[in-house]
Amino acid sequence: MSFRVIDISGVTPFERGEQHGKGARQLIERGIRSYQESFEKDQHVSWDKVRAKAMRYVDFLAKDYGDLLDEIRGIGNGAGVDFEDMMVLNTRYELLKFPIQECTTYAVMPEASADRHVYLGMNWDNVRWMENSSVLLRVDEQNGMKYFCMTEAGQLIRHGFNNFGIGLVTNNLLSTGDRDEVGVPTNFMRRRILTSKTLEEAVESVNRAARAVSCNLMIGSACGEASDLEVNPAVPIERKPREGILTHANHFTVHREICRGKGANFRDVRLYSLLERRKGEITPEYIMECLRDHYRADPSSHEAICKHEPQNGESGGIDPAKASVTIASQIYDLTEKKAWICKGNPCENGYEEYKL
């Protein structure tokens, strides 16, 4: 069991988008159907209204992100899907702000790894159906930039790394400053990071972006550096590794007073403690072991690094079909430019190796 890989090579954003759309047409259609059902049944909002809300971003993005809008048009053209539907896919984070907890991320610096490589990765947690509407892209822009990424089919990017050794993993965040206004969507921020040549360039691309909602962006560099940006509309927050290790879950770790929703999680603390045990000796195999961890601070919760559907008494009133579970586990070796990806829970499925 593995994710589909689509190889893309093209000079223009529209051309690259068309290849994405043609290669992932069925997955894109599946994702749109699932989101339409989610909005109409769970949010009680018509699909027409959702499409109209997504289109509010187009004029705002046209000046600085016109190339990415062209790519989205290309994806839609290749998949035979309306541009409006493609914009919903690429602004779904802002439109939904899922009340589930998404992802546990980490970075391991050379001083903490056994081979002195830089590792970046995550367990991607979301609703289970998303596992079967996601895809891996290996892209050559034919301008010196190449990248490997995981994404929901039809989206610009979620997580990945490039040939300059810049990598990105992300977490959902909720803050008291989140606003129902137009800002730069997180997919557009992520994509700018993925096509940055240095850590400084990547961080600056985020700092320049107008933000209306919160998210966490963990950026690593093969040069042996990493930055974790707790992005929000109110205050700039940047964290650095401690003793060569950096972890994050779904809460603000610096300005905790702006955190909205569930509050502090335990997964980032647990993952840090596991990685710290092998500081200086961390290997990809040990990271895999850590990402399979099922320890729960609260025995009545299904909140673990490797998350499964809640059992009896664990749901907290949430429909198990809509609960956050691990749909992909990822390890990026930014030094060697390769990845290990597991589809589904890593305790049940194996990792496959991919090279850029």
In degrees and rounded to multiples of 5, residue 4 shows phi and psi of -65, 140
* Predicted local distance difference test score (pLDDT) of residue 43: 81
User: What's the rounded mean pLDDT across residues 118-135?
Assistant: 96
Spatial contact of 305 and 291, defined as CB atoms under 8 Å apart: yes
* Predicted local distance difference test score (pLDDT) of residue 318: 65
User: What's the rounded mean pLDDT across residues 289-308?
Assistant: 89
pLDDT at 313 over 70: no
345 vs 356: CA distance, rounded Å: 24
Q: Given pLDDT bands bounded at 50, 70 and 90, which one contains residue 190? A: very high
Least confident of 115-119, 147-151, 283-287, 309-313: 309-313
Which tokens go with 254?
């610096």
Query: What is the chain's mean pLDDT, rounded?
Result: 93
Which has more pLDDT, 261 or 222? 222
As to burial, measured by CB atoms within 10 angstroms (0-12 exposed, 13-18 middle, 19+ buried), residue 298 is: exposed
349 vs 287: CA distance, rounded Å: 15
* Predicted local distance difference test score (pLDDT) of residue 101: 59
Model-level pTM?
0.95
* Predicted local distance difference test score (pLDDT) of residue 315: 54
Q: Which helix (H) or strand (E) holds 89?
A: helix 83-90
Q: Given pLDDT bands bounded at 50, 70 and 90, which one contains residue 258? A: confident
User: What's the rounded mean pLDDT across residues 89-117?
Assistant: 88
Domain range for residue 111?
Answer: 5-355
DSSP string, 133-145: GEEEEEEE-SSS-
* Predicted local distance difference test score (pLDDT) of residue 263: 55
What helix, strand, coil percent values describe the chain, rounded to 5?
A: 35, 25, 40
pLDDT in tens, 38-85: 898 888 889 999 999 999 999 999 999 999 999 999 999 999 999 999
Domains held by the chain: number:
1
Q: Which helix (H) or strand (E) holds 338?
A: strand 338-343
* Predicted local distance difference test score (pLDDT) of residue 234: 87
Q: Which helix (H) or strand (E) holds 327?
A: strand 325-333
Strand partners of residue 341: 330, 352
CATH number at residue 204: 3.60.60.10
Which has more pLDDT, 343 or 40? 343
Which has more pLDDT, 263 or 296? 296
pLDDT at 343 over 60: yes
User: What's the rounded mean pLDDT across residues 8-14?
Assistant: 97
3-state DSSP assignment of residue 157: coil
User: What's the rounded mean pLDDT across residues 218-223?
Assistant: 98
User: What's the rounded mean pLDDT across residues 279-283?
Assistant: 98
